[in-house]
């Protein structure tokens, strides 16, 4: 896989969302961009949102918290706890958004020719919470985040 198109899979019989995306960068660099607040602020989330809060305690049992802020002042809180860290290959953490039920996110960074295959696996508590996440526009936010990540990586070349 060497296309930068996002592949999103939603199994019919389990409360999961799976994403795959090729990125032209090493697993080590991507792990750093995924876990460092200064970098996260530049690529994570839709372009029209600012990230005034981004805190990361990168250790198993440590937490993260970030806030997206819209131009109208609306704020969206995200937080979670790191359950597993295997740099630069894997991050497992809980994910909490506002009043939605928490989920468990796993992201892996697999080296492939010319870059890294980034796989995301989100396990929701129920099919309903998975479907609510999909209905919230999360796919568009993921796509735009990857576009912004590509732009950030282009600056580093």
Look up residue 11 and give its two tokens: 């199994």
> CA 11 to CA 14: how far, in whole Å?
6
pLDDT digits (tens, 9 = 90+) for 90-115: 999 999 998 889 999 999 999 999 99
152 and 33 Cβ atoms separated by less than 8 Å: yes
Protein fold of 7-156: Alpha-D-Glucose-1,6-Bisphosphate; Chain A, domain 4 (3.30.530)
Task: Summarize the confidence of residues 124-129 as an average pLDDT.
Answer: 96
Domain segments of the chain as ranges: 7-156
Count Cβ atoms below 10 Å from residue 31 Cβ, excluding itself. 21
For the whole model, what pTM was predicted? 0.94
């Amino acid at each position: 896989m060497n296309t930068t198109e996002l592949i999103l899979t939603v199994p019919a019989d389990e409360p999961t969302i799976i994403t795959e995306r090729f990125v032209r960068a090493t697993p080590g660099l991507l792990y750093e961009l995924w876990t460092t607040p200064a970098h996260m602020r530049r690529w994570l989330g839709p372009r029209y949102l600012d990230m005034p809060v981004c805190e990361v305690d990168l250790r198993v049992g440590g937490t993260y918290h970030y806030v997206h802020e819209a131009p109208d002042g609306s704020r969206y809180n995200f937080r979670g706890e790191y359950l597993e860290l295997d740099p630069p290959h894997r991050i497992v953490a809980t994910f909490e958004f506002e009043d939605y039920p928490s989920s468990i996110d796993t992201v892996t960074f697999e080296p492939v020719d010319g870059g890294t295959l980034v796989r995301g696996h989100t396990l929701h508590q129920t099919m309903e919470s998975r479907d609510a996440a999909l209905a919230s526009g999360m796919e568009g936010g993921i796509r735009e985040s990857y576009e912004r990540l590509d732009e950030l990586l282009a600056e580093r070349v």
